Amino acid sequence: MNAPTAPDLLKLELLHGINLNHLLGFMAVAETGSFRAAALRMHISQSALSVKIRQLEQTVGVSVFHRTTRSVALTAHGQRLQATARRVSADLSQVLAELKEESQLHRGVVTVAVLPSLASTVMPRAMKAFAKEHPGIDVRLRDADSKRAVELIRQGDADMGLLSRNDQMHELAFTQLFRDAFFAVVPAQGHALSARKRIALADLAGYPLLLNPRGVDLREVLQTMFNQAGITPRPAQELVGTHALVSLVAAGFGISVLPRMALAGLHGGPCHFIPLRGGEARDVGVMLPTRRSPSPACNAFKAFLQDNAQSLARTT
């Protein structure tokens, strides 16, 4: 950042010598044309108001009022100051009113980075219910894979995230909402695992696997699960889309492992969705940046998700 120049420093010194009460006093006198009436409006003594105007004039170095024993009128310098003060006052009043409304949750915007599987399941229901409680707050979604979602939060392009716990959470705080169980996706008929009620992770090792590619959140969670089970997966196909993976399973190209939220809304048809015996699941929750203070709208939406986590976790 460049160092401030001499003219910049002079401007800062002028601003340091003027406070809001100086300008409020000036505006009151300019509008009423009277020190007495202005003092009554501000609920201060006339002498105290005179001191404020004198301090203002000493700081700027010019007179802002013509004074006689009977009248007060703006000088040419005062007219210029009044025009600017009016604009600044209007802008400041509008911003303060907006901030007040946001603090009272009457208005606001919260942008949420969310995994696609959660954007199509949890978020529509959450947004609809939240809007009934806070109709003035606009929730905007940015669907992305976990890596991109984390970048959006860090860069300030998203206020918060609805993601699964992962190892990219540096400088992010994770608050768990619910666990999203994994299911083996197998052909409904003609496969050795088709009739199983539950499937152990180790049972998958001998079959062609259809998984997300490395770098995708679900695959990284699965990779950790396979590593802990001592299994080295060798995928036959690596695709991002859930529908594509399920379709390949139905066509007999292998089996897949996907979380309940990703499978929500899909009709099994030629596939069975069978829970894993060990109860393996991913932790889904809210991510917030630790180096930025969340807005009132962001805090309100996070609190809503926490209060309604169990009902939102249901896929039906």
Domain boundaries, the chain: 6-103, 113-316
6-103 against 113-316: fold identical: no
pTM to 2 decimal places: 0.74
Binning pLDDT at 50, 70 and 90, where does residue 220 land? confident
Sign (positive or negative) of CA dihedral 133, 137, 141, 142? negative
Nearest Cα neighbor of 172 from 157, 184, 160, 185 is 160
Half-sphere exposure of 63 (CA within 13 A, CB side): 7
Q: How far is CA 250 from the centre of its chain?
A: 38
d(CA 62, CA 271): 84
Instruction: Tell me the CATH number for domain 6-103.
Output: 1.10.10.10
Q: What SS3 class is residue 178?
A: strand
pLDDT surpassing 90 at residue 173: yes
Binning pLDDT at 50, 70 and 90, where does residue 9 land? very low
CATH topology of domain 113-316: D-Maltodextrin-Binding Protein; domain 2 (3.40.190)
Greater pLDDT, 241 or 158: 158
CA terminus-to-terminus distance, the chain:
54
User: For position 146, what pLDDT does the model report?
Assistant: 85
